[in-house]
Amino acid sequence: MTDTGSSSTQHIRIGIGGWTFEPWRDNFYPAGLSHAKELHYASRQLTAIEVNGTYYSTFKPPTFAKWHGETPEGFMFSLKANRFATNRRVLADAGDSIARFVESGITELKDKLGPIVWQFMPTKVFEPGDFEAFLALLPQAVDGRALRHALDVRHPSFATPEFLALARQYGCVPVHTDSEKFPAIADGAADFAYLRLMRSQAEVPTGYTPEAIAQWAQGVRSWTGGARPRDVFVYFINGAKERAPAGAMELLKQLGLRA
């Protein structure tokens, strides 16, 4: 990432979900670009990618090492934890699935390992006792590398101070989702911010209007500035997904950053 003067810019990561999407071959990737080179290209236009594939499948250490090798210094990956850990009736029983994921070789990403996203079903209701038992299972480190955990909760029952208190107690951060379907939960005291912007519109070239992106840019500046600059991760995801790269690049531009 190029720093244009403010030390807070090193805390900002802006990106998209994944890098393999057919419509991006029409409006993001250069014509004729080999599919094998899409990560190489995307990681030089953006500064982060949220990996959805890890939610559905188990990857091995050589894959994470390959991703590390194909991307530039300063780039980061957020990984969605495997769904077997979160899509269950009793979260307290998720220990084996959690361990299987965090020990699958994710630390081969080294300094490019961003937050792990634990995504819960929209029907999963906040049950304080069971949810706390789940949070207690999340490791703070693996292979000597500290882990950061983002909680993507999608049921309105989580929009409560009790949930935020539990997240803080276990060093976790709620995902702030801009969506018509899911609650927008934020914690202004958290150690980092994790935003998923899901309202991209097909008729807007950048998904979000430049004016809307300017408002998000101001929020990013507020978060990363001041006496306590903190990391922020912003992903343009879902909605009119074909517009996601353009939206992410517009936000980078408005923040005075480039990959």
Q: How many CB atoms lie within 10 A of CB 165?
A: 11
pLDDT at 2: 38
- Cα distance between residue 96 and residue 26, in whole Å: 42
pLDDT tens per residue, range 92-135: 999 999 999 999 999 999 999 999 999 999 999 999 999 999 99
Tell me the one-letter amino acid at 5. Answer: G
The token pair that represents 137 in the structure block = 């299972």
Q: How many CB atoms lie within 10 A of CB 35?
A: 10
- Cα distance between residue 205 and residue 243, in whole Å: 6
pLDDT of 160 over the 90 cut = yes
The token pair that represents 75 in the structure block = 């780039």
Query: From 3.90.1150.10, 3.20.20.410, 3.20.20.140, 3.40.50.970, which CATH number describes the 7-254 domain?
Result: 3.20.20.410
Using left for φ > 0, alpha for ψ between -120 and 50, and beta otherwise, residue 239 falls in left
Please report which confidence band the pLDDT of residue 226 belongs to, taking 50, 70 and 90 as the band edges.
Answer: confident
Please report which confidence band the pLDDT of residue 202 belongs to, taking 50, 70 and 90 as the band edges.
Answer: very high
Sequence ranges of the domains in the chain = 7-254
pLDDT at 5: 39
pTM: 0.94
> Can you tell me which residue has the tokens 């004016």?
211
Cα angle, residue 224 at apex, residues 219 and 226 outer, rounded to 5°: 105
pLDDT at 3: 37
pLDDT at 121: 96
The percentage of residues in the chain with a pLDDT greater than 70, rounded to a whole number, is: 97
- Scored b (16 or more CB within 10 A) or e, 87-103 reads bbeebeebeebbeebbe
Tell me the one-letter amino acid at 174. Answer: P
Q: Measuring CA to CA, how many Å separate 72 from each of 7, 52, 163? A: 19, 20, 37
Pick from 178, 253, 245: which is nearest to 210 by CA?
A: 253
